[in-house]
Amino acid sequence: MTFDLKSILKLLISLGLAAGLLWLFFTYSGIRVDEIVERFKQADYRVVLLSGALTIVAHYSRALRWRMLMEPVGYKPTGSNAFLAVLTGYFANTLVPRLGEVTRCGTLNRLEDVPVNVSFGTVVAERIIDVLMLLFLLGATFLLEFERLSTFFIDFFSAKLGGNSSKSAGSSPVLLYLAGGLLGMAIVAWVLFQKYKEVLRQKPFYQKIEKFAIGLLEGLTSVRKLKNPGLFLFHTVLIWTSYYLMSYILFFAIPQTSHLGLLAGLTFLVVGSIGMATPTPGGTGSFQILVGSVLVLYGLDSKDGGLLATFIWAVQTISVLILGGISFVLVMLKAPRKTEPVPQNSSVNTRI
């Protein structure tokens, strides 16, 4: 995998954003490094190991579900190779944001010769399913905890953005003009494409894009051709149940947070998933700020909430780095040479 100047700049911006968010988190929470170390000393590592086991269950189930999406388009990689590809992707995404899906597809190409454009299409389909699942959980959480969460999001974002209702209303014409401008540009681009598409089809770069798009479309439509939709649904539920449990049980690893209930765990999962979606390595900074803030709604002070968020983030990040690092080495041993170039500019949001 190569890095051009654009990729390096993206990485530096991402690291800078993570550093800035962490600075805000530590500044406003008042948490010291020695307090984080003390929490790790207090932790029950039997619970931590159980959380790690659930991490493996979630990722292996994801690998099997991904494998099911590739069967309708003519590919059937082994479960073990799909598992290695998934873990290697998470490993890459923890180090360099937005690189996980591309790395996962490139790894499977090395191990199984599955074309990157086809596997990437199935990853996009998989992520769409996960976004829908997250939206379902978000809706369920709001129904169950409406009073707590509505107050939290209104107060949190109004404080961070420094806005109020009158300012938001005043900005609406600007948003309308922006939306209209984007729509106009899209229409002009479409008209020009229709006029010159026969000329474009003779160009090598267009042929490459068209080939990639066809493979991507095949992967996206694989959901409709599943041989066993029930098993696909089972793995989807298993993945998200494992995500929930691997975070929730860590509440019991620390004495100060062992009283938190099931609904606190559900809120943690939803808000934590939103925090992980930000363009920082492994959700660094955003995860701690969002989760630490929302846990105050469940009776923790801001310091204990921030310490729990930091502890769980660290445990899960270390788990991914260990499992992903081992997988990366195994992939290098099994398939030392790459068979197909991986597109560097494709990206899809991850854990999700």
DSSP notation for 79-116? HHHHHHHHHHHHHHHHHSTT-HHHHHHHHHHHHH---H
pTM greater than the 0.85 cutoff: no
Q: Quick one: pLDDT at residue 216?
A: 58
End-to-end CA distance of the chain: 24
Residue 182 lies in a domain: yes
* pLDDT given at position 280: 82
Pick from 205, 201, 248: nearest CA to 343: 205
Q: Is residue 119 part of a domain?
A: yes
Task: Answer yes or no: is 348 within a domain.
Answer: no
- Residue 13 domain-assigned? yes
In a domain, 346, yes or no: no
| 324 in any annotated domain | yes
Total number of domains constituting the chain: 1
Q: State the chain's maximal CA–CA distance in angstroms.
A: 68
Measured CA to CA, the distance from residue 29 to residue 303 in angstroms comes to 6
pLDDT in tens, the chain (352 residues): 455 676 677 778 878 888 888 888 888 878 888 888 988 998 999 999 999 999 999 999 999 999 999 988 889 999 999 999 999 999 998 888 778 889 999 999 999 999 988 888 888 888 888 988 998 998 899 888 887 777 766 666 555 545 554 444 444 455 466 667 767 777 877 777 677 677 666 667 666 666 656 655 665 666 777 888 899 999 999 999 999 999 999 999 998 898 999 999 999 999 999 888 888 888 888 898 889 888 888 988 888 889 999 999 999 999 999 999 999 999 999 876 554 444 444 444 444 4
CA–chain centroid gap for 133, Å, is 13
Q: Does residue 98 contact residue 7 with C-beta atoms inside 8 Å?
A: no
Give a yes or no: residue 347 inside a domain: no
Indicate whether 349 belongs to any domain: no
Q: Domain range spanning residue 43?
A: 5-334
Query: What is the pLDDT at residue 168?
Result: 43
